[in-house]
Amino acid sequence: MMHRLTLTEIARALAAKQFSAEELTRNLLARIQQLDPQLNSFISLTEDLAVQQAKAADARRAAGENGALLGIPIAHKDLFCTQGIRTSCASKMLDTFIAPYDATVVSQLAAAGTVTLGKTNMDEFAMGSASESSYYGAVKNPWNLAHVPGGSSGGSAAAVAARLLPAATGSDTGGSIRQPAALTNLTGIKPTYGRVSRWGMIAFASSLDQGGPLARNAEDCALLLQAMAGFDPKDSTSVDEPVPDYSAGLNAGLQGLRIGLPREYFGPGLDPRIAELTQNVVKELEKLGAVVKDISLPTLQHGIAAYYVIAPAEASSNLSRFDGARFGHRCNDPQNLEDMYKRSRAEGFGSEVQRRILVGAYALSAGYYDAYYLQAQKIRRLIKNDFMTAFENVDVILGPTTPNTAWKIGENSDDPVAAYLEDVYTITANLAGLPGLSMPAGFVDGLPVGVQLLAPYFQESRLLNVAHRYQQVSDWHQQSPAGF
């Protein structure tokens, strides 16, 4: 039952020579082959590479090495470039693109000894909250195959939740790690903007995107984030800030920890059953010594409007490089240059990506830049100021990760705004650049519910500490979906 073990438990078992990295890798690859057709969580399996990396990890252990991630199997969201392997961003546009280099996140995790089992499915170019907009088909939630796993890191979340592997990488532009973590009963952390290198991570919205881990619990996330974080001179947005030992502070006491509950989180639109589960988490943290304070984030209500101007604007700029000329999909027999641009982009991009490019190009156009983009950036500053004011009085902010549980596949297909509204609690952390974590908090109608924690800049250790202490007195994170 190797697949039942958490990342931390696997690390201990490998160190104790209970099994080898190669045995574990072959076991999980067989499990993926057997079960993933139900989930569609992988785009590419990298079996040969995985076995090769596992053998190398075993050799390093035999030579006396004992790193925490040495021989640990993981998968990468398919927007992290992986040398010699298709990196598709779940788009027809990049269906045949073989990355010529490794993203910094990939190379750092490989150096730590991880084994790459494959590349996970996602919303096309990370644009979506359901993992339905993939060129390779929708990802299904292992808790109920008729429902979405969240997005855009839905493939990573579904694979980890279904025990196909212990952990995976994701990216978070407006909640794309935290929201699928909540909807699939996982722990996921979005670090502070600039904490994890974006080099080699195909961009959606450059000022919002941030890579991070998805795993079963906070302890596992701490080990992964340790290897992913750090300054990267190749990334101009990377921050040269020392990386603490994330595992060292996991067991610190919560006595006197000030938790802020924003009243705006608990208004109309939130499922009352999720509100109740959120309050249950608060009560447990109070028993551990935390102090709860009511706070206000008055500009929260404007977050979605600002985000859905800024993110598409940056997307329209970033995706202009995919024109059929240099790489990516090119249409057949173009009549001229303009025809090649138009048809390559129309054929290569799906409807959600085209929608966001159009919205973004409109917001940046000469007549509307001041009316939309500039106003959205001003709101972004106000949102950041709200958080800074709140953090003068509290240490962490707590609330629901999502207003509802996972919806049915196809339910919001004709109403993109309904899907956008599911990000109401997560996007403000990206607009402000703050670290955020989602952790399991219970179930409603058999579907998982997550609670979100936010902290000041570079206080990932605090988030992991609070989540770990909660997970020591709760067992939600240990529940697994039937059939997996």
Taking residues 45-56, report their average pLDDT: 97
pLDDT at 413: 77
Residue 295, phi then psi, degrees to nearest 5: -135, 175
Distance of CA 269 to the CA centre of its chain: 23
Catalytic residue among 176, 238, 247, 344: 176
Catalytic residue among 41, 129, 152, 461: 152
Answer yes or no: 152 catalytic.
Answer: yes
pLDDT tens column, 434-477: 999 999 999 999 999 999 999 999 999 999 999 999 999 999 99
460, 241 Cβ separation under 8 angstroms = no
Q: Where are the alpha helices (DSSP H) in 197-271?
A: 218-228
pLDDT at 82: 97
DSSP secondary structure letters along 442-467: EEETTEEEEEEEE-STT-HHHHHHHH
Q: Tell me the pLDDT band of 278, cut-offs 50, 70 and 90.
A: very high
Answer yes or no: 176 catalytic.
Answer: yes
Residue 145, phi then psi, degrees to nearest 5: -65, -10
Taking residues 40-62, report their average pLDDT: 97
Predicted confidence (pLDDT) at residue 419 exceeds the cutoff of 80: no
Least confident span in 160-164, 219-223, 418-422: 418-422
pLDDT tens column, 163-212: 999 999 999 999 999 999 999 999 999 999 999 999 999 999 999 999 99
pLDDT at 118: 98
Can you tell me the distance from the alpha carbon of 250 to that of 231, in angstroms, rounded to the nearest whole number? 23
Can you tell me the distance from the alpha carbon of 102 to that of 57, in angstroms, rounded to the nearest whole number? 19
Question: What is the b/e burial string over 396-424, where b = at least 16 CB atoms within 10 angstroms of the residue's CB?
Answer: bbbbbbbbbbbbebebbeeebeebbebbb
pLDDT at 416: 75
184, 155 Cβ separation under 8 angstroms = no
Strand 436-444 and strand 447-454: pairing?
Answer: antiparallel
Two tokens, residue 191: 């670090």
Strand 187-190 and strand 258-262: pairing?
Answer: unpaired
Predicted confidence (pLDDT) at residue 417 exceeds the cutoff of 90: no
Can you tell me the distance from the alpha carbon of 405 to that of 151, in angstroms, rounded to the nearest whole number? 13
What is the percent of the chain where pLDDT is above 70? 100
Taking residues 56-85, report their average pLDDT: 96
DSSP secondary structure letters along 7-70: HHHHHHHHHTTSS-HHHHHHHHHHHHHHHHHHH--EEEE-HHHHHHHHHHHHHHHHTT---TTT
Count of all residues that appear for the chain in the document: 484
Report the chain's mean pLDDT, rounded to a whole number. Answer: 96
Taking residues 389-399, report their average pLDDT: 98
Predicted confidence (pLDDT) at residue 1 exceeds the cutoff of 90: no
pLDDT at 414: 76
Predicted confidence (pLDDT) at residue 8 exceeds the cutoff of 90: yes
Span 2-257+435-478 CATH architecture: Alpha-Beta Complex (3.90)
Taking residues 415-432, report their average pLDDT: 88
pTM for this model (two decimals) = 0.96
Can you tell me the distance from the alpha carbon of 425 to that of 297, in angstroms, rounded to the nearest whole number? 11
Least confident span in 9-13, 67-71, 416-420: 416-420
pLDDT at 107: 98
Taking residues 378-402, report their average pLDDT: 97
Q: For residue 188, what are the contacts with CB-CB under 8 A and spacing of at least 6? A: 153, 157, 170, 172, 177, 178, 180, 181, 212, 213, 214, 215, 221, 437, 438
Catalytic residue among 44, 77, 133, 153: 77
